[in-house]
Amino acid sequence: MRPAHLLIYAKPPRMGLAKTRLARSLGSPTMARRIAMMTLARTIRASLGGAWTPVLYTAPDSALGESLGGIWPAAIARRSQGQGDLTQRLNKGLIEAPPGPVLFIGADAPDLTPALIRKAIVALRRHDAVFGPASDGGFWLFGLNKSARTKSPFGNVRWSGPHALSDVKANLPIGARVAELPTLIDLDEAEDWQAWRAEQK
């Protein structure tokens, strides 16, 4: 099996740039920035914890030279997400990734661990794709085995809503073998933050 590549889509934890939906629903850009810093730090720690190649896809392009609050090692590769909507930005990552297991994650799931990433990679040994479902109907991880014939599954997906996972799954080839990991909470809205905090007690 070829080495796995983990593509992390993240923005610097700056007010007005990251966690804008969360800032609106919390009514506090400052709190949203703190949460963004926390989830990004946890995501980066998890992404550096295994035998895969992490690549940070960041936006905007001006963030390419930033240390993301000092928590992203300079030695780890980073690339521009590029222009366009989320579909176009994910397609860019898919095109640039080498053949083999390719995993996509954001920086919204504070419970992400290296063990869960390893489970996703192991699942791709016997499956064509793998999802880490989020409690809101989206997903905190999506992975597939890329080959020269792989077509993008990201077209016409209703992002940031309850249909994101089902839309991507519907775009997979007929008969594709799909694995699912445990459901995690993505911190997108105030109610997500409250639910996650309740779980920590």
How many domains in the chain?
A: 1
150 and 172 Cβ atoms separated by less than 8 Å: no
Structural domain boundaries enclosing 61: 5-199
Q: What is the CATH classification number for the domain harbouring 108?
A: 3.90.550.10
Question: What pLDDT is attached to residue 200?
Answer: 87
Average pLDDT for 162-169: 95
- The pLDDT tens digits for 74-99 are 767 889 999 999 999 999 999 999 99
State the chain's mean pLDDT as an integer: 90
Q: What is the mean pLDDT of residues 175-197?
A: 93
114 vs 193: which has the higher pLDDT: 114
> pLDDT at position 32, please?
86
| pLDDT tens readout for residues 16-69 | 677 788 888 888 888 888 888 899 889 999 999 889 999 999 887 766 666 666
pLDDT for the residue 60: 74
Please give the full DSSP string across 117-166, using - where no structure is assigned: HHHHHHHTTT-SEEEEEBTTSSEEEEEEEE-TTPPPS-TT---SSTTHHH
Q: Is the pTM of this model over 0.85?
A: yes
